[in-house]
Chain A
Amino acid sequence: MDDNLVDDNLGQRIMAVISKTQHLDAAKITLDSSFEELGIDSLDGVNILFALENELDISIPDEAAKQIRSVRDVVAGVEKLLAEKAAGVA
Chain B
Amino acid sequence: MRRVVITGLGAVSALGMTARDLWQNLCAGQSGIAPLEGFPDGNLRIRVAAQARSYQPEAHFDPKRLDLLDRFSQFALIAAREALADAGLQLEPEVASRTAVVMGAGMAAKTTEDEAYRQLYALGQKSFSPYLVPRAMANAATSQMTIEFGITGPGLTVSTACAASNHAIGLALGMLRAGQAEVALAGGSEAPFAMAALKSWEAVRVIAPDTCRPFSSDRKGMVLGEGAGVIVLETEERARARGATIYAELAGFGMSSDAGHITLPTETGAARAMQAALDDARLDAAAIGYVNAHGTGTVANDPTETRAIRQVFGAHASRLAVSSTKSMHGHALGASGALEFIATALALRDGILPPTANFTSPGDGCDLDYIPNAARRAQVEAALSNSFAFGGLNAVLCLRRYQK
Q: How far is the CA of A75 from the CA of B131 in the complex (A)?
A: 22
Q: Which of B62, B125, B129 has the most CB of A within 10 A?
A: B129
**Is A66 engaged at the interface, CB distance under 8 Å to the other chain?**
no
Residues of B within 8 A of A23 (CB): 62-64, 67
A43 near B64: Cβ-Cβ < 8 Å: no
Residues of A within 8 A of B130 (CB): 43, 46-47, 50
Per-residue CB proximity of A25-52 to B under 8 Å, as 1/0? 0000000000000000001001100110
When C-beta atoms are compared, the residue in chain B nearest to A43 turns out to be B130
Residues of A within 8 A of B62 (CB): 23
A50 near B129: Cβ-Cβ < 8 Å: yes
B134 near A50: Cβ-Cβ < 8 Å: no
When C-beta atoms are compared, the residue in chain B nearest to A53 turns out to be B127
Q: How far is the CA of A51 from the CA of B130 in the complex (A)?
A: 10
**Is B242 engaged at the interface, CB distance under 8 Å to the other chain?**
no
How many residues in A have their beta carbons less than 8 Å from beta carbons of B?
9
**Is A22 engaged at the interface, CB distance under 8 Å to the other chain?**
yes
Q: How far is the CA of A23 from the CA of B63 in the complex (A)?
A: 7
Residues of B within 8 A of A47 (CB): 67, 129-131
Evaluate whether A43 and B131 lie within 8 angstroms (CB atoms) in the complex, with A22-B64, A23-B62 already known: yes
**Is A67 engaged at the interface, CB distance under 8 Å to the other chain?**
no
Within B47-68, the residues touching A (CB, 8 Å) are 62-64, 67
Residues of B within 8 A of A53 (CB): 126-127
Shortest Cβ gap from B137 to chain A (Å): 13
**Is B117 engaged at the interface, CB distance under 8 Å to the other chain?**
no
Within B179-208, the residues touching A (CB, 8 Å) are none
Q: How far is the CA of A43 from the CA of B134 in the complex (A)?
A: 10
**Is A54 engaged at the interface, CB distance under 8 Å to the other chain?**
yes
Shortest Cβ gap from B398 to chain A (Å): 43
**Is B39 engaged at the interface, CB distance under 8 Å to the other chain?**
no
When C-beta atoms are compared, the residue in chain A nearest to B66 turns out to be A23
When C-beta atoms are compared, the residue in chain A nearest to B125 turns out to be A54
B126 near A54: Cβ-Cβ < 8 Å: yes
Residues of B within 8 A of A54 (CB): 125-127
When C-beta atoms are compared, the residue in chain B nearest to A57 turns out to be B126
Q: How far is the CA of A63 from the CA of B280 in the complex (A)?
A: 56
Residues of B within 8 A of A50 (CB): 127-130
Residues of A within 8 A of B131 (CB): 43, 47
Within B355-401, the residues touching A (CB, 8 Å) are none
Residues of A within 8 A of B127 (CB): 50, 53-54
Residues of B within 8 A of A43 (CB): 130-131, 134
Q: How far is the CA of A46 from the CA of B126 in the complex (A)?
A: 15
Q: How far is the CA of A37 from the CA of B126 in the complex (A)?
A: 31
Per-residue CB proximity of B163-187 to A under 8 Å, as 1/0? 0000000000000000000000000
Q: How far is the CA of A43 from the CA of B126 in the complex (A)?
A: 19
Q: How far is the CA of A50 from the CA of B127 in the complex (A)?
A: 7
Shortest Cβ gap from B134 to chain A (Å): 7
Shortest Cβ gap from A55 to chain B (Å): 12
Shortest Cβ gap from B170 to chain A (Å): 34
Q: How far is the CA of A51 from the CA of B62 in the complex (A)?
A: 20
Residues of B within 8 A of A22 (CB): 64
Residues of A within 8 A of B126 (CB): 53-54
- Additional A-B contact list (12), CB under 8 Å, known A43-B134, A47-B131, A50-B128: A22-B64, A23-B62, A23-B64, A23-B67, A43-B130, A47-B67, A47-B130, A50-B127, A53-B126, A53-B127, A54-B125, A54-B126
Across chains A and B, which 9 residue pairs bring their CB atoms closest together, nearest first?
A: A46-B130, A23-B63, A23-B64, A50-B129, A47-B130, A47-B129, A43-B130, A53-B127, A47-B131
The contact sample of 23 A-B pairs, CB cut-off 8 A, is A22-B64, A23-B62, A23-B63, A23-B64, A23-B67, A43-B130, A43-B131, A43-B134, A46-B130, A47-B67, A47-B129, A47-B130, A47-B131, A50-B127, A50-B128, A50-B129, A50-B130, A51-B129, A53-B126, A53-B127, A54-B125, A54-B126, A54-B127
